[in-house]
Amino acid sequence: MQDLSLSIRTAGELRGNLLADLFDKCSDLVQVINTDGSIKLVNASWCNKLGYREEEALTMNIFSLIAPDCQENCQLIFRDLLSSGQPKSIKCAFLTREGNRIYLEGNMTVVMKEGVPVMVQGILRDVSERHHSEQAILELNASLEQKILERTSQLRVSEQRLEEAQRVAKVGHWDLDMVNYQLYWSDEIYRILCLDKDTAEATYEFFLSLAHPDDRQLIDAAFWGAVQTGVPYDITYRVFVETNRMIYLRTRCAVYFHQDGSPLRAIGTSQDVTELITSRDSLINSQTKLRKLVELSPLGIALIDDSGRYLDFNDAFLEIVGHSAEELCGLSHSELFTDYAKGEATHRLIGPNGEGCLFKIRVQPLMSEEGSFSWLIVEDVTQRLAAEKALRQAANVFRHAQEGIMITDQDGVVLDVNEAFSKITGYERAEVIGSNPRLLKSGFHPPQFYQDMWARLNDSGSWTGEVVNRAKDGALIEMLETISAVSTDDDERKVYVALMADIRQIKSQQRQLEHLAHFDQLTGLPNRVRLSIEMEAMMDEACRQNAPISICYIDLDGFKEINDYYGHAAGDALLRCLADRIRLLLSDSPHCLARLGGDEFVVVLGHQSEALILIEKLLYVLSKPVDWGHSRLEVSASIGIVQYPDSNRDQGADQLLRFADQAMYRAKQMGKNRYALYNQFFYNPASQLSQ
């Protein structure tokens, strides 16, 4: 029996030694992490890759090594791993000791003890080289796409300017609850569709019935495709409104999902782009007409062989040389034009009566398997009629252009303007002729702006940029201008041609989009993006002034039950009311207030001595009932607080928010309707404030 026991012990020690040797010599990165993220064990490959000694690693938290842009996703995976106990795959960027960025991927598993997670094991592999290769491919594709766009941009510029100038921002939004299959339309949707909000049925099926029969399949396929794949879509289609009046709608939609992958909500916008589509069709027709005018150009084109015999020609060429097609087939090039030479030169045409007319001929050799040929492009430079025709065409373009046009001499004296210029600026042609373009000067730009403009114009012959001008009535006009220097026939003097497009409407839309990107649409409060900017500024100021601030993460207790029972309208009204209460309470204190989404808010407070008093007041005002019709909506709040700068001076805004989030969850675990400080927790019932 003693021999058997000794053998078992010896085998166990051997197995342990083998595992330890495998752990140390494994090329993959092996790590064991406690449930709070602190590092418990790492192998040699881990230390080599990240540049830390083992004793250093054991004093660190794993999230301090993860790149800031990967923090949020890794936190979510880590929480899900601990809550579900199921293995998870992960891929994220780590920062080495030197600050270099490496990309790791692998699997993480939870070690359970009596049903409770006690640690997390992970095996990771360095995939930085593969990641950089993928990025290089993406950058190469982007570069190729940019080159293609640059080649085609000149063909699209006139269409894009017309579309942008005529676009009207008439946008409505809608929200489809995919769980209860309930559809919400904004008032603008009802207005666009000419429907009565009180009687029209807001359902997907009803909306689909309004669509043009030929477009219903397009709409249905786009929507359900987004539900299945999660890829947003952007489509334009036709809808009948009122008495069979047809409009064009552009719809953009994104679908949001539960953690289990089931669809949760579909949120989208619909815009009436009828005027834009109509304008685009008009532009295409105009371009077609212009293309036909080019085909009627007086240039003559002919194809000749190496001996000078005519093989093919256009009607303009026959008109120029004064011969019929049959006569021309019997002649050679040298019999029509004197001093024939390849290249580009001026020749005289030998007419039927022996009269010579001056022509400019450009000869382009063409080599093929069938022999040597040449293209002839002939221009009659003596025919005044052709010149007058070209001038009339230019005058029509000048007169009917949608952009404002101003022509000045080299001294800056205005020679002419078109009707579009007068429409944009309010100045009639007679008021502008003989004046200086300075009459449009708004005072908005410094002198250096105009000095740079003229320097670029003199160097390259053209300048393009945005200018704020002043109209005749004093209004400021944002314009996109292109100024070109054009030489006259004698090449001794220049004229300057300025094209002006009114972009006020486009700039207004840009400002509206910027506001939507930084502020919550429901409450008007800053969103997460704006909060990060303002938090960083307040954190810098707190460090400079040595004046601590408090970051408070607020989550409403019982909001989901109200939202489920009374509906989204009641929930939205409750959120707006509580946001207004917080704003009013903090109006006299330095602060930053933001809504992260759902029922979560963040308040950053200055004046550390007053912070806890204000937080107690916050608990009180948030617990006061809100009237909703004949009902009273009541919630409370759990608040997590992080003080900065403290021991967390080196943490960024995102990490501080995560700390405050953890403290908020501790407040909920302690019974809700109270606050908790990060690493210190206090019982604070709001009811004491009302006594």
Average pLDDT across the chain, whole number = 79
Specify the pLDDT at position 163: 36
Say if residue 541's pLDDT is above 80. Answer: yes
Specify the pLDDT at position 289: 61
Specify the pLDDT at position 399: 64
Specify the pLDDT at position 369: 65
Separation of alpha carbons 552 and 615, rounded Å: 8
Separation of alpha carbons 559 and 446, rounded Å: 53
Only one residue has tokens 């602190």, namely: 38
Confidence class for position 354, pLDDT limits 50, 70, 90: very low
Separation of alpha carbons 96 and 123, rounded Å: 17
Q: Is 599 a catalytic residue?
A: yes
Specify the pLDDT at position 252: 92
Tell me whether residue 546 is exposed, middle or buried, using C-beta atoms within 10 angstroms of its C-beta: 0 to 12, 13 to 18, 19 or more: exposed
CB 237 within 8 Å of CB 230: no
Instruction: Give 229-277 pLDDT, tens digit per residue.
Output: 889 999 999 998 887 888 999 999 999 998 888 899 999 998 988 888 8
Confidence class for position 465, pLDDT limits 50, 70, 90: confident
Confidence class for position 148, pLDDT limits 50, 70, 90: low
Instruction: Give 166-189 pLDDT, tens digit per residue.
Output: 344 678 888 999 888 888 988 888
Say if residue 356's pLDDT is above 70. Answer: no
Which helix (H) or strand (E) is 582 found in, with range?
helix 568-585
Q: Calculate Rg over the CA atoms of the chain.
A: 37
Mean pLDDT of 57-77: 89
What's the pTM value of the predicted model, to 2 decimals?
0.36
Q: Residues of the chain with pLDDT > 90: what percent?
A: 19
What are the distances in angstroms from CA 349 to CA 320, 356, 500? 9, 5, 44
CB 167 within 8 Å of CB 236: no
Separation of alpha carbons 676 and 153, rounded Å: 58
Specify the pLDDT at position 302: 79
Confidence class for position 647, pLDDT limits 50, 70, 90: low
Q: Which of 599, 627, 646, 654 is catalytic?
A: 599
CB 396 within 8 Å of CB 382: no
Specify the pLDDT at position 144: 75
Task: Look at 494 and 413; give whichever has higher pLDDT.
Answer: 413
Strand ranges, E, within 488-628: 494-502, 549-557, 591-597, 600-605, 626-628
Separation of alpha carbons 376 and 345, rounded Å: 11
Specify the pLDDT at position 683: 39
